[in-house]
Chain A
Amino acid sequence: DIVMTQSPDSLAVSLGERATINCKSSQSVLYSPNNRNYLAWYQQKPGQPPKLLIYWASTRESGVPDRFSGRGSGRDFTLTISSLQAEDVAVYYCQQYYSSPQTFGQGTKLEIK
């Protein structure tokens, strides 16, 4: 199984500042024939199901604010929130869908400083 490791486990950022979450996979999730990274990011607020933010490592889901961006390739990925808003307080998960079983990172809890 591919192990997904996120860092940090928790993060406190001031409103309006940048937040960056890292995700590293134990093996590459880049599929060379189509040059796509099989990596998604989700946001989960308390008492709610996860919400898809980013897929293919950098494609924003429809309706997701453009302050959310994803980048990276191969084994190393980042989710960046360019200007933190109060409603962004949540736990964020990365997930690989390159191979079965699909696996998630352990989650990063984002709070307001």
Chain B
Amino acid sequence: QLQLRESGPGLMKPSETLSLTCTVSGGSISSSSYYWGWIRQPPGKGLEWIGTIDYSGNTNYTSSLKSRVIISVDTSKNQFSLEVSSVTAADTAVYYCARHFKTGNHGRGYCDSWGQGTLVTVSS
């Protein structure tokens, strides 16, 4: 059974770079049928899609965060990662990693498996 688990710091200061890792178990991140991505949810609010990567390293980001976001993949460790630079309080959220079933090119697909999420709080 596929499992995804997010890891990273829970508390950050403004202007720092957020770094999260998603470890995939029970399946290979090198499958050509999927993208691997990040979605976030501010406390008490809705879901915001951040971006995806495939096993080859092809990425697709939301335009609103594109200048501050990097998603990378390490197939040897079956992991993928998220970096968000210059964080502010507006980046406070639960960050989910999710497997996206590939429905075409350009990094899009529905999310058929999710991690439990990790809360990242940005505060001075």
Do A and B bind?
yes
**Which residues of A are at the interface with B, using a C-beta cutoff of 8 A?**
1, 38, 40, 42, 48-52, 55, 61, 93, 95, 97-107
Question: Apart from A51-B114, A61-B112, A95-B111, what 16 extra A-B contacts exist at CB < 8 Å?
Answer: A42-B47, A49-B96, A49-B114, A49-B117, A50-B111, A95-B49, A95-B110, A97-B103, A101-B51, A101-B62, A101-B63, A101-B64, A104-B47, A105-B46, A107-B46, A107-B47
Q: Which residue of B lies closest to A91 (CB)?
A: B46
* Cα-based distance from A100 to B104 in the complex (angstroms): 12
Flag if A40 contacts B110 (CB, 8 Å): yes
The 7 closest A-B pairs by CB, nearest first: A101-B62, A49-B114, A40-B110, A104-B47, A55-B110, A102-B49, A97-B108
Q: Which residue of B lies closest to A103 (CB)?
A: B49
**Other-chain residue from B64, B96, B108, B112 in contact with A102 (beta carbon distance below 8 A):** B108
B86 at the interface (CB under 8 A from A): no
Q: How many residues of B contact A (CB 8 A)?
A: 27
* Chain A binding surface SS class: loop
How many A-B contacts if CB must be within 8 Å? Answer: 62
Flag if B48 contacts A104 (CB, 8 Å): yes
**Other-chain residue from A55, A101, A105, A107 in contact with B101 (beta carbon distance below 8 A):** A55
**Other-chain residue from A48, A93, A97, A102 in contact with B46 (beta carbon distance below 8 A):** A93
B42 at the interface (CB under 8 A from A): no
Flag if B47 contacts A100 (CB, 8 Å): no
The minimal Cβ–Cβ distance linking B105 to chain A, given in whole angstroms, is 10
Question: Which of A48, A55, A99, A105: most chain B CB closer than 10 A?
Answer: A55
B76-108 Cβ-contact flags toward A at 8 Å (1 or 0): 000000000000000000001010110100111
